[in-house]
A = this chain, B = another copy of it.
């Protein structure tokens, strides 16, 4: 094993060398997953910050298809890195606190062994003889690098897109070597549309007459046109429709004045031509084929069962992030990962960040206040030191459905009602107040579901595991009887599909605790009867009829009738007068303003 400061890459012929990259040659032969072997592998990497004495603060950052080891600038004079926004002193991946490692991928063209590297057997570049490598092979090389650096367990592996595939693979392959993973804008495998775009890109390269079957390194021309076409297709898929319209529609027929032989009649054409030409200057066509093929062959499982099996052995902590306008790695694919983790009872937080930026969102500042802060909060909670202050969600620490009165009497009772060490799902958990109380009781598996991304951020800051979902769309993420107890507190009245939500709760939880405001409460009845006005009250009922989130109007008696009709068993009913702070035993349908029901399917 030899180590040296990398001066130039032997594969990327025109690319500027990476000033701060180090490299190490790992001499242990690498047996590849799909056959073949590499006698030795050189890895280029950059590091940031200091490894602490107990070697517990290392974070591995994984790059996407066109990235390299230069994830961030090393000093003010340095070139910006590809994830500068995230990595640096005081940034979410805080290099004052963490030791950051970012290697160039196996198969790459920026210092790590790839198709443009010299094949020791022939003394010439591998070219088409470079074997097919998988994400698993890439991660195996990274593991050897981590070994080389003397690090036993990584604090976290973080990556977006193809970098997310690596993070997922770390968790699946080396669960004991990672404490946490943060896969961003990624998928358990590519969908057919994403795969199709890659196929067309590779066809454009391979059928370029200058490809010469991959042995173009000594030729005058390389498959520049094919690679540029592939890159143009890629660029379209990285942006959203909305982002492209914003960027190009106003000056549609005023192309930028760029030196390119590609069509530049339209503004978007000049952009694509420039991107294609620039990419060719710094990237190798065989590497593009190698990495895109690794991505396309990546497959952690096509069914929920297969995926759950993949992650069963990965009980690290997870933060999964997707972006609403990402159509290359659509949010549903991140949800598949999250669902598989939940099915394996692995702690996970998930947020689908509202974004207009498409797949590239994870590299852009637009949505950084959510996804960046979420990564910061998640990482900061990992090492138990210096917890970050709990992020506030617009000044309200509670959602509209979670304040009834200042003191949540119903929470007191719900906490009492939950069996010891139970697994608990809190639907509509808001900023996590109830979950935080349950956590103090040492419940073993706590999951929150919430729709509002700022509330999710608050939960993550509190070290709680919360996944984003819309209750009205069902609880498909959760298996039958997965939880000892499912809680729905003062939320049922805000739900459109009441029957659907209750059916799903009762499927997922052995026991369910539902708290509801009672519209049969005498003061509310009075308002309608005597004043002829829609009932209104404090707490969840303080809204006007025209702007209240409460869209279901029912009494305790209505709810009990419903349970009878739908064969839902009521184990307990606790009726409360929250104003008086007391339980109600006399005519609860008239005298209670809130009730807690413990119910189950049988």
Contacts and interface: CB of A to CB of B under 8 A. Distances in A.
Contacts of A266: 195, 199, 296
Nearest to A199: B269
Contact of A520 (B233, B532, B551): B532
Contact of A528 (B245, B267, B330, B519): B519
Contact of A555 (B204, B519, B532, B556): B532
B528 A197 contact: no
A552 interface: yes
A561 B209 CA distance: 77
**Copy total for this chain:** 2
Contacts of A547: 498-499
A553 interface: yes
A545 interface: yes
A498 B546 contact: yes
B553 A200 contact: no
A553 B527 CA distance: 13
Contacts of A529: 525, 528-529
A169 B365 CA distance: 42
Nearest to A520: B532
Contacts of A239: 193
A532 B499 contact: no
A302 B236 contact: no
Contacts of A582: none
A5 interface: no
Interface string A184-197: 00000001110111
Contact of A233 (B192, B233, B525, B551): B233
Contact of A203 (B195, B229, B551, B589): B229
A31 interface: no
A553 B545 contact: yes
A580 B244 CA distance: 60
A82 interface: no
Interface in A186-236: 191-193, 195-197, 199-200, 202-204, 206-207, 209, 225, 228-229, 232-233, 236
Interface string A527-552: 01101111000000000111100011
Nearest to A264: B199
B191 A204 contact: no
A573 to B, nearest CB: 15
Contact of A225 (B207, B261, B265): B207
Contacts of A272: 196, 199-200, 203
A532 B557 contact: yes
A553 B555 contact: no
Among A196, A209, A241, A330, chain B packs the most CB atoms within 10 A around the CB of: A196
Interface stretch (A72-80, A138-146, A246-254): A246-254
A265 B207 CA distance: 15
Interface string A266-280: 111100110010000
A545 B552 contact: yes
A562 interface: yes
A27 interface: no
A250 to B, nearest CB: 8
A205 to B, nearest CB: 10
A590 interface: yes
Contact of A199 (B263, B545, B554): B263
A200 B232 contact: yes
A369 to B, nearest CB: 26
Nearest to A132: B265
Among A192, A229, A236, chain B packs the most CB atoms within 10 A around the CB of: A192
Interface of A: 191-193, 195-197, 199-200, 202-204, 206-207, 209, 225, 228-229, 232-233, 236, 239, 241, 244-245, 247-249, 252, 261-263, 265-269, 272-273, 276, 293, 296, 299, 302, 327, 330, 496, 498-499, 519-520, 525, 528-529, 531-534, 544-547, 551-558, 561-562, 589-590
30 contacts: A191-B241, A192-B249, A195-B248, A195-B269, A196-B232, A196-B236, A199-B263, A200-B236, A203-B229, A203-B276, A206-B263, A207-B229, A266-B296, A327-B327, A496-B551, A519-B534, A520-B528, A525-B532, A531-B557, A532-B557, A532-B590, A533-B557, A533-B561, A534-B553, A534-B555, A534-B558, A545-B552, A546-B554, A551-B551, A553-B553
The 9 A-B pairs with the shortest beta carbon distances in the complex, nearest first, are: A551-B551, A498-B546, A192-B244, A192-B248, A545-B554, A199-B269, A520-B532, A207-B225, A532-B589
Given A192-B268, A199-B268, 17 more contacts: A192-B248, A193-B244, A193-B245, A195-B269, A199-B269, A200-B233, A203-B263, A203-B276, A206-B263, A207-B261, A241-B327, A252-B299, A499-B547, A525-B529, A532-B557, A545-B554, A546-B554
